[in-house]
Structure formats: structure tokens, C-alpha cells
Structure 1
Amino acid sequence: MSSTTTPQAAQHCRISNDPGDFGADPWLRPYLGEIARRSDFVAARRRSLCGGGSLSAAAAWPDRYGLHREGDGWRFREWLPNATAVALVGEFNGWTATPAYQLRREENGDWYGEFPLGAMAHRDQYRLAVTWPGGGGVRIPAGARRVVRSTSDLSRSDVLFNAQLWSPEEPYAWRHRSPRLASPLIYEAHVGMAQEKAGIGSFQEFTAAILPRIAAAGYNTVQLMAVQQHPYYGSFGYHVANFFAVCDLFGTPDEFKELVDTAHGLGLRVIMDLVHSHAVRNEGEGLGRQDGTRWQYFHDGPRGEHPAWDSLCFDYSKDDVCRFLLGNCRFWLDEYHVDGFRFDGVTSMLYRDHGLGRSFSGYGNYFDDNSDWEAFAYLALANELVHEIRPDAWTIAEDVSGMPGLASPVEQGGCGFDYRLAMGVTDYWFKLSDQPDEHWSMNGLWHELVNRRQDERTLSYLECHDQALVGGQSFIFKLIGKGMFDAMHCGSQDISVERGCALHKLARLATIASAAHGYLNFMGNEFGHPEWIDFPRDGNGWSYNYARRQWHLRDDQSLRYHGLGEFDRAMLAACGQRPDFFACRPQLLKLDDLAKIIVFERAGLVFVFNFHPWQSQADYGFVCLSGHYRQVLDSDAAAFGGLGRLPAEQCHVACAVRNGDCRDYWLRVYVPCRVAIVLERIDDGE
């Protein structure tokens, strides 16, 4: 069928912002018993961790462990069950295990010590000298809240990491409360590569220069990557060594607090990537063989090693490990006032084979022996904990497997995430980018844009950081190619540039306009940033050239990048910032595969997309509600780098047409090729 028209005009379809009934999915019926048993397993893990108390009490790990000032002295505790002797060594004792800094063993493998106030001072660097049967080594405490490296020269192989006591005389004074928002418009960002300079950006630079850009662009949430301390900068922050420490390459704990506080003052929420799926295998600066054993925090044997990531996998069956990770969730909420987390690598956690090489073609793949109930239980309890501490916090699951129930309530047998990423949307856009657009299927595109579970909240995106990494290409780069470097000036007649810029705008608008509950964009992609991401490494001469963002391109009005950025701002203003937008479902009005047109309505707005590469449509008609419609967005406007073929803010009237005993209202519009327009119903025409 080349053309489909709805038989009657769509009414505004209000939807609840709460997820539906997970168990009502008919395809889950054969697995309800398995889901019930899994729920019982989660409950058993909760009882084991909490006893008769609350999850927040069970997550008090940061208060119990690590170095703390208490009254007129310091107290320190570390969990090292295999150790035979432990001492603090640092600048305060010449890095020697003196008797005054020896720890004593307690029950459950804890080591404890108390020290006078003058025994150490703010900014003192220190480590643990740990002895175990048959050996020993120096280690960084698992709960260290500040870890610093001896040099920021990334090419050096002799970098030494130490814990640093962070206890300023004047604690940071918070000024702003977190804003309350209905739906997230997320700007995914990396502090280190946010600056234009060839170097590593800082928390202070991000606060001063980038946060105002994000707020002005219309986003309401910042998602920060690479916050937790990681020894290898090129890991993008996903090989974490010190889970309670901010990355020292970007600045101090107080400077990160200033970033979060300033964001809140600008009306922005701050969420962070939380990496609990694995840990860097480093021993000197990470958790590897912390007490001389491989199995203290991680599985022993092959199950403890991630074959694709060269990292170590947590053993979620251990109460001590879960309390450590739950305490980490609580710490970032309490200490830094972040507003939630994007849990990284959820697929890797949920399956014993980490989901590698699996297609997940049926529901049976989610409930077989490959499923890791211990990891599922940890995630469910982590979500429960986050919302117990901060009911308004957001948790997001990064899962490629499509496991049902991740964003369904725990009490229904789900995992309790607030949102899951609609990762199939970006996959489909990139499949389309490999085809001539005259072959694009509108039926296939519409299906993928709105194909989602109705019992879970989802966030859609055209692309995130994954698509821009070296070895890949961003969406606009795949469309334009080398023209990105020499034909992006406004006077260019390059056909590939015209096509790429037009489709870039259409794809982004179609993605946010059809998104279920929110939208995500990666830093710079809103204006079509031309470069991939490649962090400094031996293979590129330790260059920062591709680990930065070229903001001058967005600001230069003689370049098409400026127009793309302006369109993104207008797009967010037109739909994403409407208070009721994500409370309504998109209602298809017309789908025309031959003409490459999709028309749908949402929250009083009518979206008309013409994806055809050369065929414009004059007087194109579709059924809608009666009334007058004003054009509020035109992707072809000159301000957005378009050809300006449509008058600004033109109005249309839906005309009555007899249909047997009924009367339909038809709207007829001119929609040029590769153009999208958005119409707002301003009255009912009466």
C-alpha cells in the first residue's frame, strides 16, 4: 500500500507518565512463573542486605568505610578480608608503615584505625600498605573520595596514583535546588573534550562556558560521562578505578559541586554515567587484587573477566559487594546532589555471556539459564534505593537486548528504571543512511520510531557518543562525507551537503516528535559537528585534535553548522518544551510510502515530513481536526540554512468535505522535498 489515511481526525491522546502493567503483556504469559521466581529472588536479596532495616541504611557504606574526620581526630576503615596486616602510608609518615598508622583487624575482614587530628591534613596524599599470605602491595582505599595522578601527561607510562585527603576548612555551600521537570531533554556531554582548545577541559571551564550553551539551546538535563576516576583517559570513563572519586583530570570535588550547583541555577538537572557493570583490572590504582585475591569484589575464574572489555566483573551475589555498589549510588546523590544515573552496560550485567554475539530474537532469550538473576537483583535494588533517597531522581538503562520490564516497577516484577534508551531508533536511522533516500520505507521508519513497550518509559535519540567514536561516523558525516570539510559554507552548491543538512534536520525532528517520554543528544551533534572522537593515544601521536568540540563552527553565521544549531534550538522550543508534549501519544494521520510522506499529530501540533529527494507536494491533503493552523516550524527556513521556499508563520484552514453521512476536515499544504513543517492548531474554526 503506497498511501494510508486515517478514517477520522485524531484526538489528543493523553497518556499517563507512569508505566503500565508489565504483567499484562500477553507475550509474557509463558514466563510469568519465571518472573515471579525472579521477583522472589530480588526479595530474598533485599532481606539478606537489609535484614529488617531500609535499603538506605544498608547503603551506608560510604559513612562506614574510608577516611573520615570525627570530632578531634580521624577514623579509617577498609574491608580487606584476606589481609594479614594493613597500614596507612603517605606524606604524613614518609610513606613508611610506622606503628602509629597501623590498622587493627575487626570482624568481617574490616581493618580499622583512629588517629589524632594532627596526624594528617587536607590534600595529604596516602595509600594502604597491605600484606597478605605470600605477598603484599600498596593499594588505594576502595572508598577514596579523591585520587590524583602524578602527571597529566597522558603519554607517560610511569604515572603514579595516590588517594588524597580532601577536607577543606570551609565545606562547599550549596546555593540552588534541583529543578523539577516532567520529561528529560538530555544533553550528553564529556567535560574533558567539551572545550575547543587542544587539551583536557576542566569542571570550571565547563561550568563557565558550556553549561550556558546547553541551557540556551533548550535542553533541560546534562548527562555527564567519565565523572568517576579512571586511569586511562581514552576509555571514555568506562574503565573506572575509583568509584567514589571524581576524575582528577577535570578538577577537584568542590569544582564538580560548583558545576552541579550552577547547572541547577540554570534550570538544568545533572545525571551521570554510573559504571557498575565492570571495573578496570588495574591493581595499583583500582580494585584488582585489593587484598591479594581476585575474588574479593569480582567473580573468580573466567566469569570474573569481561572478554570484550578487558575488565573485571563484579560478583553481585556477595552482600559486601552489593553494599559497596549501593553505597556508591547513595554517595553521588548525597555528596554531589546529582539528579540520577544512566547505568552503563546493563546488557553486559544481565547475561552471563554479557549479551555478546546474541540476537535476542525471542522472549525466551530473556528468561533462560543465561540470565544473571544476581545482577538483575542488584539493579532492581539500586533503583529502589535511588528512589527511596530521591523520589524525583531519574535512572536510565542502557540495554541493547530489549529485556522486557527493565523500566517497569519492581513490585510488578520489573527492574525499576525510570527510562530505557530506545536504541533501535538510532540503529534504524543508520541503516537508512546506507541507502539512497528514494528507497527509504516510510512504513518501516514509522514502525521503528513508535515501536516501544507501552508498560515502560523510553528515551529516543538519533545518535549518542557511540556513533561518533573513531572507526565510526556521525549521522551527518555518513550523509555528506568529505563535503563536511570544504563545502559547509552557506554559499556552497554541493548536492551532498544540501541533502545531508536537510535530512539531518528531518531525522532529528522526527525522532523527538515521535519519542515516547524524552529525547537525548550528544554534545555538538545538534549542529552537525564534523569530526569523530579519538582520544589521545600512541596511535595518533597523543593528539587532542579529535578530543574537543569546535564551537566556533556553531557560532559562525556564514557556515551551515550555525543553521543546524538554530534549527535544533527551534525544534526543542516548538515541541520538547511544551509542558504536555510527552503526555500525548503521536497519532498517525497519513503515511504515503510512494510520496515519502509521514503526517502525524501530537499535543496540538501537526508534523508533516516529506522525505522525497526531489518531489515536492503542492496542495497535499490529509484529514485532521477542524480549525485554523499556523506554521510554527519550517526546516527549510533560511535561518536554518534552507532554501526558504515557504512563507514564515503562514496559516492554513481545515476545510469540510462530505464523506457520506459524515463530514471530514481536510488540511492542504505545500511541502517541498526534504522538508518538514510543524503546524499548530490555534482554534477550532468555529
Structure 2
Amino acid sequence: MQTSDTFIGEVEPGRTLTLPADGTGITVIDPWLKPFEEPLRHRFSLYKNWRDRIEKDGKGYENFTRGYEYFGFQVDPTSKVITYREWAPGVVAASLIGDFNAWNPESNKMQKDEFGVWSCQVPPRQDGSPGIPHGSKVKISMLTPQNERIDRLPAWIRYVTQDLSVSPAYDAIFWNPPEVYKPRNRPPPRPASLRVYEAHVGISTQEPRVGTYKEFTKNALPRIARLGYNVIQLMAIMEHAYYASFGYQINSFFAASSRYGTPDELKELIDVAHGYGITVLLDVVHSHASKNVLDGLNMFDGTDHCYFHEGAKGRHDLWDSRLFNYGSYEPLRFLMSNLRFWMDVYGFDGFRFDGVTSMMYKHHGMGVGFSGGYHEYFNEGVDEEGVMYLMLANDMLHKLYPDVITIAEDVSGMPALCRPVREGGVGFDYRLSMAIPDMWIKILKEQTDEQWNMGHICHTLTNRRHLEKSIAYVESHDQALVGDKSIAFWLMDKEMYTNMSDLTENTPIIDRGIALHKLIRLVTHGLGGEGYLNFEGNEFGHPEWLDFPRAGNNSSFHYARRQWNVVDDHLLRYKYLNEWDRAMQTAEEHYGWLHAPQAYISLKHEGDKILAFERAGLLWIFNFHPQNSFSDYRIGTNMPGEYRIVLNSDNKMFMGHERIDENSSYFSVPGSYHGRDHSIQVYIPTRTALVLVPKERLTWAQNALSQ
């Protein structure tokens, strides 16, 4: 029976348990957490206290998270009166200044309430238009107790422009256009399988400059849709002063970066993506903020501790940035309202939270190697206020938006990170499997092909917490950045500049690189998680790394772009990798292996370099051997019957050698083999992967791509 002390939790489809309601429910699901009931109970009580305070003082999530409708600039649609509010408890006077009042701090003085919120109203003009024209430059001017006048960009401003030829280079713009973009498409249903395309609008042009929202909508979205991705994760949208920060040094949290275009153009991008059936996630940065003063939140009211912790606790030494005070009422309202703002105003469908490890630990993950021992997650190194904020944020988002998706970037392996808050979890839907790309880079850097260990590869790909979803990937933006190489570059290096044309010899290096690029991606896709992620351009083996214009490269855009021309050139071999990526995504759409239970691995043969596993009713076979092909290789299976080919990396569409007849049928025979009740025999050439399916379940095969 459910009581106030317990609840019935569905821990997986069709399986329910009675769980305690004090934050220790996760210990019923994972008994290894039993010794840590007290810290789990304590952090849950911290979350619950804040949740109760939000209910009492903030009138619940619904009201508390609408700060963007109260703070900043609010225009009454009837009277056209503009109300401006700002939280700045550390100053003794404040004024709204801008083009509209000749920057005179005496013209629009603000009044302070008991909570440190300053406000003023700007009446309409005689012609009835708003007193601040659309597009005007604005600032808040304040006096500190030391009688120092400080001017700041409004904290809740929605549009900020840059002109690097002048100082200060950043202007807050009063954004109040006469008409705003109205979405035409409904957001798609939450996908059962996440196939994520990680993208950066600015680099999404092949020209050496900053790309735009309009260009991304016109040029990139059709590519992404054709490939079969159903989720886009947009980076560097929140306004950041330094382009080379990759969008991870935020200055204005409510402003969509103007370097790519206008707010309406971003809204159109998201709306068109929805029309393609694509979910759009924002790469949100609440783990830290730019330390800039004149154009950021740092020292906003002249104090060290307005939005941030004061002193050393409020500074991230490695990132050279400021750290939020998650245990303070107004910073909480600011951040939680920020999440809701991007959902409500722009139409995003969820978030990838950056830097979650830094938020959850006082040491921010710096100089700490997580071994996986549970004691590492429940000790004095944990930042309970950071964990509490993430619990509140996830709880709020999932209550207000049932279809929302939240993804955590965490390297620590925090248990219950992706379990519901009421169980004692942190509430995310997915975590990024950050060990997988590290494994592939390490293998390619340090091992010969003969040294690849099938058991180690399988262990890394499947080493994830039961009942917590993860997103697998071979490489994200982290691996593309200058100082490292992409997987394609590790495999083929300088020959990518000379031997990627169909008119040139297929050298051993190119042949190996193309083959392994396909196998590495497919085994990660099939075995590695409940979601899959690709960074834009890597689907076709982008030929160069990523490096933003900065002093160290003479402000060059040469590497801050994506060379779509190489994949569009039908004489170049990049097209084969692109089509293989499309085949993987399309097959997953039909067979849904990402949202199927984890695979059963029946074979890891170190000598033959053969892997075989079953997942989603499919039989997956990989031959990683650098020389040996195998005829009539026996593979165990629990699925009897006739098999047909779904995917074959040796197909000529993918620059294979066509050694396999794709019209072949494979018939199982009874008898125990590799722990399975049946087996089949296949021809599996060197560096080839096959995915087979019982004939009666054949709904799609790769030859459909060419029809």
C-alpha cells in the first residue's frame, strides 16, 4: 500500500516497486547504495526544503520559474508602458540609461524594494509608441556604497550585439519588434531512441566566417534530416563574448547569440527542425559564467557575491570563470527561469547540461580520478547545493514539460544521476558515455590492429549503470578541437589530403581507415548505449580539426568551418562514410535498437578479432581482424530461422569490396553454441560488419537506400 512515506515507482516497463519517499528509494533498486542511505536522505532533504520554500515563497514552480516575465524589460501590450526590473542588492542607487534618454542617469531613476529589486517605468511617447524604441542600446547605471558609478548590461537582456572595433565592444539592445515569429509546426513527440546531431551554427558554413541561423536552417537542416538524426543539440547559442570559448563562457544568459542573426531567426530554425520531425536541445551552461564585468554578471552590483559565491569558492581556477551560488534564492530563480525561458520563448525541447561534474563536486573534477567506488560520490567533496540545483531543475522541467529531455555531461559516474528525483536520483534522462571516445582515441594512438582487445572494447561499451540511460559516441566536439585529431585523422592522417579521390589508388591506409571508421561507429551505435551522438561533419570523416579564430592562429577562420564541399563532391570518398552513417541511422529508426535492452554478447574472440551480439532482435557480427577473412564462421544465436542482411559494411555504397552476396539467406541450426540455443554460419571478410535479422522481421535493408 502506498503511504506518505512510500510510493509505487515504475523502475522499468512492467516492473514496479514500493519505494521509500525520503530519497532512499534508489537503494531498493541498487542495494549497493544501501550504506549511503544517510547522505542520500540528507541531499534529498536539502532539495525538499528548497522545493517547499519555492512552493511557499515563490508560489510554486509555475510562478517561480517565470522570472523572465517579471525581471528585465516588460512591455504592457495595451498601455505600452515599459517596466524594467533588476536585482542588485549591493548598490544604493540605480538608473536606466540608453539611447532613449541620452544616457542620462538622472532621467529614469529606479526604486528599490525590500528584496533588493530595483524598478522603474518608461511611459509611452505622445504618439502611443513605447518610450524606448526597438533596437535601442540600454544599460543599468548604479552607485555603490563607495559612491562609485558602475554601468552594466541588464542581466535579463534578450539581445546583445558586438562590435570588436570599439570599446566597450558589447551593447545590450532593447528587443521589442512590432512582429515576432510565430511557429508553424508542432514539436515532434519525444523520440524513443535518441540519435543526436551535435552542431554549432557558426561553423556550419564551409566559408571562412561565422555562419548564420538562416544558413543553418536552409543548408544544414536538410542534411541532418536526410541522414536520419532525430535530435539536434545546438551549441554556443547563449551569448558569449569570446567566440573561441566554443560558447562555454556565457555573458548574457537570456540572449541568443547575435553573431548568428536575430532571435526570430533562431525561432525559425527550431520551428523548421520541428517540421522535419527533429527534436532540438540547447547546450545549456549553468556550471559557470564568464568573469567579464562590463558585459557579464561578474561584479554585477559591485559586489563579489551577487549571483556567485564570494572569494575562492566563487571562482573556477581551470576555466577562469565565476561559479553560481546555487543555495541562494535569486540565483536559483535566475537559473531556473533561464531554463524555462529557452523552452517557452524559443521552443527548445530540452537541454544538454554542460559541466555537470563541476557542479556536483567542490573540487570540480580537477585533479581527481574517479575509480567508480561509491564512497567517491558521498563524501565531503560533493557540492550538495550543486546537486540540489540539478535535482530542482530536472524536477521542475519534467513536471512542467512531460516530454522534455535532459542530458548530463558528467565524467564522474555519479550513481542515480539518471533516476527520477523522487527516488533520490538527480533526475536526468541520459548521461554522456564519456569513456567511450577516450577508449577509441587511446586504442588508435597506442595499439596496432593486432593488439585490439575485444573484451576491453565490449567492457567499455557496456560498462554503464543498469536502469540509467546513456548516450554513446565515438567523438564529440571535444575530440574535434585543435590539439587532438578526429577519428578519421587518426586513421588516415595526411593521406586524407592526397588519396580521398575515387580517381586515385585505394591505398592500404585509406582502405583500412574507411573500413575501421565504419566498424567503430557501428559497434558503438549498437552496443554502447540508449542513445547515439555525432558531432557535425564527423559522419563523413571531416578532414580537419576544429580551431576557432584567436590570437594564436592570427584570427583565422580556416578551421572554424565544416567542409561540406568534400562530401558533396561525388569524386571524393567522403560520400561513402556519409552514406554509411545514413544507413545506420535509418536502420535504427526501423529496428529501434537504442531503446531495446542491452545486448547479449555471445562472442569475443581475441585471436580471430570477432565480436558477436544480439540486440533488438538483430544479430551483429564484427570482424576486426586486419588480414583474416572467415568462411562459414559459426555464430551462436537464440533466434532460430532464416536470416537476411540489414547492414553490410562491405557494400560498394560504403566503399566496401562487395565480397558478400546481399541476397543470401542464412539458416540457423539447433544446438548449443557460445551459450545460445542455435547457430548460423556466415562469411565474414576482414574489417567487415554484418547486421542480420530473421526474415519475418525484415522491414528495412540497406539496399532500400539506393532505391
Q: Same fold (TM over 0.5)?
A: yes
Cα distance in structure 2, aligned partners of 1:49 and 1:664: 57
Shift of 1:386: 1.0
Cα distance in structure 1, aligned partners of 2:344 and 2:516: 43
Q: Tell me whether 1:195 sits opposite 2:236 in the alignment.
A: no
Which of 393, 407, 414 aligns to 1:396? It is: 407
1:33 corresponding residue in structure 2:
38
Deviations 1:223-272 (A, max 9, x none): 00000000000000000000000001011110100000000001111001
1:340 corresponding residue in structure 2:
350
2:82 corresponding residue in structure 1:
74
2:432 corresponding residue in structure 1:
421
Q: Tell me whether 1:126 sits opposite 2:138 in the alignment.
A: yes
Q: Alpha carbons of 1:515 and 1:379: their partners in 2 closer, same or farther (altered >3 Å)?
A: same
Q: Tell me whether 1:163 sits opposite 2:168 in the alignment.
A: no
Which of 474, 478, 492 aligns to 1:462? It is: 474
Cα distance in structure 1, aligned partners of 2:590 and 2:389: 35
Shift of 1:580: 6.1
Shift of 1:665: 2.7
Q: Tell me whether 1:85 sits opposite 2:99 in the alignment.
A: no
Which of 86, 102, 116 aligns to 1:94? It is: 102
Deviations 1:493-518 (A, max 9, x none): 32222111111100100011113311
Contact kept? 2:186, 2:274, Cα under 8 Å? yes
Q: Which moved more, 1:33-42 or 1:220-229?
A: 33-42
Deviations 1:584-630 (A, max 9, x none): 33122222111111111112211100011111111100222211111
Q: Secondary structure at the match of 1:92?
A: helix
Cα distance in structure 2, aligned partners of 1:17 and 1:421: 26
Structure 1 residues 142-541: aligned runs within 5 Å: 142-151=155-164, 156=165, 158-180=167-189, 181-361=191-371, 362-434=373-445, 435-490=447-502, 491-541=504-554
Tell me, which stretches of 5 or more residues in structure 2 are unaligned?
1-10, 18-24, 126-130, 699-707
Q: If the length of structure 1 is used for normalisation, what is the TM-score?
A: 0.94
Q: Tell me whether 1:635 sits opposite 2:643 in the alignment.
A: no
Cα distance in structure 1, aligned partners of 2:166 and 2:621: 56
Q: Alpha carbons of 1:367 and 1:110: their partners in 2 closer, same or farther (altered >3 Å)?
A: same
Cα distance in structure 1, aligned partners of 2:677 and 2:319: 58
**Could you tell me which amino acid in structure 2 is paired with residue 587 of structure 1?**
Y
Contact kept? 1:56, 1:330, Cα under 8 Å? no
Q: Alpha carbons of 1:18 and 1:325: their partners in 2 closer, same or farther (altered >3 Å)?
A: farther
Q: Alpha carbons of 1:120 and 1:215: their partners in 2 closer, same or farther (altered >3 Å)?
A: same
Q: Secondary structure at the match of 2:475?
A: coil
Q: Secondary structure at the match of 1:76?
A: strand
Cα distance in structure 2, aligned partners of 1:26 and 1:664: 33
Cα distance in structure 1, aligned partners of 2:257 and 2:273: 19
Q: Alpha carbons of 1:658 and 1:234: their partners in 2 closer, same or farther (altered >3 Å)?
A: closer
Deviations 1:42-66 (A, max 9, x none): 1112123332732232112111100
2:20 corresponding residue in structure 1:
none
Cα distance in structure 1, aligned partners of 2:663 and 2:407: 38
2:4 corresponding residue in structure 1:
none
Cα distance in structure 2, aligned partners of 1:343 and 1:563: 33
Q: Tell me whether 1:648 sits opposite 2:662 in the alignment.
A: yes
Contact kept? 2:239, 2:257, Cα under 8 Å? yes
Cα distance in structure 2, aligned partners of 1:676 and 1:532: 27
**Could you tell me which amino acid in structure 2 is paired with residue 94 of structure 1?**
A
**Could you tell me which amino acid in structure 2 is paired with residue 456 of structure 1?**
E
Contact kept? 1:298, 1:313, Cα under 8 Å? yes
Shift of 1:159: 4.9
Q: Secondary structure at the match of 1:196?
A: coil
Q: Tell me whether 1:44 sits opposite 2:49 in the alignment.
A: yes
Cα distance in structure 1, aligned partners of 2:489 and 2:573: 14
Deviations 1:468-524 (A, max 9, x none): 100111112112211121121233332222111111100100011113311110000
Cα distance in structure 2, aligned partners of 1:462 and 1:390: 30
Contact kept? 1:512, 1:576, Cα under 8 Å? no
**Could you tell me which amino acid in structure 2 is paired with residue 50 of structure 1?**
E
1:7 corresponding residue in structure 2:
none
Q: Alpha carbons of 1:581 and 1:293: their partners in 2 closer, same or farther (altered >3 Å)?
A: closer
Shift of 1:654: 1.1
Q: Alpha carbons of 1:360 and 1:255: their partners in 2 closer, same or farther (altered >3 Å)?
A: same
Contact kept? 1:198, 1:548, Cα under 8 Å? yes
Contact kept? 2:193, 2:594, Cα under 8 Å? no
Q: Which moved more, 1:473-482 or 1:396-405?
A: 473-482
**Could you tell me which amino acid in structure 2 is paired with residue 277 of structure 1?**
S
Cα distance in structure 1, aligned partners of 2:283 and 2:95: 33
Q: If the length of structure 2 is used for normalisation, what is the TM-score?
A: 0.91
Tell me, which stretches of 5 or more residues in structure 1 are unaligned?
1-13
**Could you tell me which amino acid in structure 1 is paired with residue 36 of structure 2?**
Y
Q: Alpha carbons of 1:167 and 1:18: their partners in 2 closer, same or farther (altered >3 Å)?
A: farther
Deviations 1:399-421 (A, max 9, x none): 00111111111111110001111
Cα distance in structure 2, aligned partners of 1:213 and 1:492: 29
Shift of 1:305: 0.8
Q: Which moved more, 1:248-257 or 1:487-496?
A: 487-496
Contact kept? 1:469, 1:532, Cα under 8 Å? yes
Q: Tell me whether 1:106 sits opposite 2:113 in the alignment.
A: yes
Which of 22, 28, 45 aligns to 2:26? It is: 22
**Could you tell me which amino acid in structure 2 is paired with residue 392 of structure 1?**
D
Cα distance in structure 2, aligned partners of 1:461 and 1:564: 16
1:10 corresponding residue in structure 2:
none
Cα distance in structure 1, aligned partners of 2:163 and 2:289: 22
Which of 60, 65, 69 aligns to 1:63? It is: 69
**Could you tell me which amino acid in structure 2 is paired with residue 591 of structure 1?**
K
Q: Secondary structure at the match of 1:280?
A: coil
2:5 corresponding residue in structure 1:
none
Shift of 1:684: 9.4
Deviations 1:191-212 (A, max 9, x none): 0001111100000000010011
Q: Which moved more, 1:424-433 or 1:178-187?
A: 424-433
Q: Tell me whether 1:116 sits opposite 2:123 in the alignment.
A: yes
Identity over aligned residues, as a percent? 43
Cα distance in structure 1, aligned partners of 2:499 and 2:95: 63
Q: Alpha carbons of 1:163 and 1:649: their partners in 2 closer, same or farther (altered >3 Å)?
A: farther
Cα distance in structure 2, aligned partners of 1:663 and 1:42: 47
Q: Secondary structure at the match of 2:556?
A: coil
Which of 614, 617, 625 aligns to 1:612? It is: 625
Q: Which moved more, 1:304-313 or 1:118-127?
A: 118-127
Q: Alpha carbons of 1:17 and 1:675: their partners in 2 closer, same or farther (altered >3 Å)?
A: farther
Contact kept? 2:157, 2:172, Cα under 8 Å? yes
Contact kept? 1:203, 1:250, Cα under 8 Å? yes
**Could you tell me which amino acid in structure 2 is paired with residue 634 of structure 1?**
N
Cα distance in structure 1, aligned partners of 2:352 and 2:16: 18
